[in-house]
Amino acid sequence: MAKKSVFDFTNMVENGEKIVYLTAYDYLTAKMQEKAGIDMILVGDSLGMVTLGYDTTFPVTLDDMVRHCQAVRRGAPNTFIVGDMPYMSYQASDEDAVRSAGRLVKEGYVDAVKLEGGGPRILSRIKAINESGILVMGHIGLTPQFAGQIGGYKAQGRSAKAAIELVKQAKLIEEAGAFSILVEGVPSAVGKAITERASIPVLGIGAGPYTHGQLLIYADMVGLYDNFTPKFVKKYANIGEILVNAFKEYAKDVRENRFPVDGEHTYKMKQEEEKELLSLLD
Ligand code: KIV
């Protein structure tokens, strides 16, 4: 299947087709997602927690992101890939933002970048990145890189006043030139209000059923990451349990001398060579 473009996403929205969006951080997962026909892949800075074992996304570097974007691109050459801008790769200046986004495109082979926030500085970053010719996705609501300022990792826009602020931010992000907006961790009514007023695709993660598309962290929905599972996650498999059982079975087989089985999991040697080996050993 040909790789989807921004125009395809706009058409999908116009035709009422949902956009399917998942995170991936490595070659194998990306390969399976492309096989499954996922429309868009996010190489999220959640890789810090999901694959690097940090408690938060803050330690993730631009080099980490570039390396993982490359792996995902190798696995999914025909899927639209969004690379996340990690903490402090865009906050300080428009110039930093353009250079960081440029690295994700030039070295990480992504089709677009995503950055968090909706304040005036972030709007300026979105404008600068867009004007440099790079597609940019906004991200509002529960924005982990702003955890200190938004009261931690909790749902946002739960009061009418806070919700209106998010609706306004979404419009400003669109006006700044974003091709799409991701809304995270808000009540369904807020996801709906933002979506109904948007002229660009609105994707949601924990933002209810009314957005134009849905995102999940893949490791949550297949039961691989069990440190914490947000309320909005639906579990489609329990791969973590399958893997632990496979590792246990392997350990038991090795300890009880049931693996490898000679002749089944082993290389063969010609009889005469084996004979000669034995005589040489003698
Ligand atoms: O890093 C990520 O995976 C994200 C999603 C949680 C929205 O930004």
DSSP β-bridge partners for residue 41: 22, 81
Residues 84 and 40: their CA atoms lie apart, in Å, by 13
| Residues annotated as part of the active site | 184
Looking at the fold, whether 159 and 221 belong to one and the same domain comes out as yes
pLDDT tens digits for range 25-48: 999 999 999 999 999 999 999 999
Predicted confidence (pLDDT) per residue in 234-260, tens digit: 999 999 999 999 999 999 999 999 999
Instruction: Give the separation between CA 248 and CA 141, rounded to whole angstroms.
Output: 41
Ligand 1 center–CA 253 separation, angstroms: 39
Domain holding 259, by residue range, is: 252-281
Burial 191-208 (b: 16+ CB within 10 A, else e): bbbbbeebebbbbbbbbb
The span from the CA of 191 to the CA of 69, in Å, is: 28
Residue nearest to atom 8 of ligand 1 (CA): 44
Q: In this structure, is residue 204 part of a structural domain?
A: yes
pLDDT class for 1, splitting at 50, 70, 90?
confident
Ligand 1, atom 2: nearest CA belongs to which residue? 44
Distance (angstroms) between ligand 1 centre and the Cα of 8 equals 23
Are 185 and 256 members of one domain? no
Portion of the chain with pLDDT greater than 90, in percent: 99
Specify the CATH number for the domain of residue 92: 3.20.20.60
Domain-embedded: residue 243: no
β 202-205/213-216 pair status? parallel
Same domain, 232 and 259: no
